Amino acid sequence: MAVLRIGILTSGGDCSGLNAAMRGAVKACYDRFGEKNTQIIGIKNGYYGLINGTAKEMKPSDFSGILTLGGTMLGTKRQSFKMLTSVGEDGVDKIKMMKNTYKDLKLDCLITLGGNGTHKTANLLSSEGLNIIGLPKTIDNDIYGTDVTFGFHTALETATGVIDRLHTTAASHSRVILAEIMGNKTGWLTLYSGIAGGADVIIIPECPYDIEKVIEAVEDRAAAGKKFSIIAVAEGAYDKDEAKLKRKDRSKLREEQGIKTATERIAYQIEASTGIESRVCVPGHMLRGGTPSAYDRYLSTAIGARAAKLIESAAFGYSVAVKNEIITENKLPDIAGISKPVPEDSQAVKTAKQIGISFGA
């Protein structure tokens, strides 16, 4: 049997589970094809490394002791899809360079771990004739065609822990505290952590808010003798007026208003209207870091192992997926670049409403 040369890279934002997924893929390849017949080529810093030929041959020992390690041992960088597909002032054809690196490294296939942007580029490279397999990671859980992405569960645990801790300080000071949770386009992480953390109001991009409704929810709690309120806000949230604007126009409006996110504005409006002291907590990149949860370790391993099966079957141009707890796959053209918003009738939304959580709408 000829030696299989398998490239692997991590692209986009980091999250817990990337190392576990790589480990799962590599160990499954070693098991299927044998260590002597498998050569893993680690590409540093995502597509940037593929463009510039920054890679190293890896040993089996490189994949030991990384199951519980957060982040990515290969490093990662964000690469704009638009920038990749256009020749800039430097005159560099980045697609051509990535294809050349693939050939120079004599790869039989390339495993790409990433979110929506990563999958768009993976699909492009696949259409250019490269053997590509995608693995779905993102704390946003917004990749179309899969029920869950690895990294989401760990971020959910962290975000919920943040909201848990806000309850005692909010109660002690009789404040409204708003937790701004990552999620620029979708609200999965905010929705689930808001429910799990006992938030009183949840504001997500899929449901543009009415500030009067948000204030009403806070005032209703105060009237009922509740001296504090917790509001979970997705960083990409916007109000009903902003919903009528294009994204760039929303950004311009906020710049003129001197704010970066809706969370800051909501806090100011609540305090101005009710007189209740309001504060904002932004856990930010803490949500990406740390040891992967037990579930993410399992999920990452299972998703990684599926890649080995696809390689064995020479089934390229696919992204691994989870559907009804079954590990399967989707064709890259069917899912690349398509976001998965929270449905208005999702069970999580229904649950939140059934226990009296307001969406400010």
| pLDDT recorded at residue 16 | 97
Amino acid occupying residue 152: F
- Report residue 293 as tokens: 């949860």
Global pTM reads 0.94
Question: At 251, is the pLDDT very low, low, confident or very high (cuts 50, 70, 90)?
Answer: confident
pLDDT above 70 covers a percentage of the chain that reads 100
Question: At 54, is the pLDDT very low, low, confident or very high (cuts 50, 70, 90)?
Answer: very high
Does any domain span residue 340? no
Q: Evaluate whether 310 touches 133 at the Cβ level (below 8 Å).
A: yes
Does any domain span residue 50? yes
Residues 106 and 178 in one domain: no
Does any domain span residue 296? yes
Residues 93 and 113 in one domain: yes
User: What distance in Å separates the CA atoms of residue 127 and residue 132, rounded to the nearest whole number?
Assistant: 9
Residues 326 and 208 in one domain: no
Residue 230 phi/psi, 5-degree rounding, is: -115, 130
Question: At 141, is the pLDDT very low, low, confident or very high (cuts 50, 70, 90)?
Answer: very high
Question: At 109, is the pLDDT very low, low, confident or very high (cuts 50, 70, 90)?
Answer: very high
Beta strand ranges found along the chain (DSSP E): 4-10, 38-43, 55-58, 109-114, 132-136, 176-181, 201-203, 229-234, 278-281, 318-323, 326-331
Residues 248 and 324 in one domain: no
Does any domain span residue 25? yes
Options 108, 140, 200, 296, the catalytic residue: 140
Q: Is 329 helix (H, G, I), strand (E, B) or coil?
A: strand
Question: pLDDT by residue (tens digit) across 271-319?
Answer: 999 999 999 999 999 999 999 999 999 999 999 999 999 999 999 999 9
Residues 120 and 253 in one domain: no
Q: Is 187 helix (H, G, I), strand (E, B) or coil?
A: coil
User: What distance in Å separates the CA atoms of residue 59 and residue 42, rounded to the nearest whole number?
Assistant: 10
Residues 180 and 133 in one domain: no
Residues 41 and 174 in one domain: no
Domain that holds residue 197: 155-288
Tokens 């999965």 belong to residue: 188
Q: Is 298 helix (H, G, I), strand (E, B) or coil?
A: helix
Residues 250 and 274 in one domain: yes
Residues 122 and 178 in one domain: no
| pLDDT recorded at residue 247 | 86
Residues 61 and 140 in one domain: yes
Question: At 257, is the pLDDT very low, low, confident or very high (cuts 50, 70, 90)?
Answer: confident
C-alpha distances (whole Å) from 63 to each of 74, 112, 160 are: 11, 17, 30
- Report residue 72 as tokens: 């990515």
Q: 147 an active-site residue? A: no
Does any domain span residue 354? no
Can you give the CATH number for the domain in which 307 is found?
3.40.50.450
| Region label for 35, one of left (φ > 0), alpha (ψ between -120 and 50) or beta (otherwise) | alpha
DSSP 11-78: -SS--TTHHHHHHHHHHHHHHHH-GGGEEEEEETTHHHHHHHT-EEEE-GGGGSS-TT--S-TT----
- DSSP code for 284: G
Count H helices and E strands in the chain, helices first: 13, 11
Residues 325 and 283 in one domain: no
The domain tally of the chain equals: 2
Does any domain span residue 9? yes
User: What distance in Å separates the CA atoms of residue 353 and residue 297, rounded to the nearest whole number?
Assistant: 32
Smallest Cα–Cα separation from 112: which of 218, 196, 6, 205? 6
Residues 209 and 279 in one domain: yes
Can you give the CATH number for the domain in which 224 is found?
3.40.50.460
Q: Is 6 helix (H, G, I), strand (E, B) or coil?
A: strand
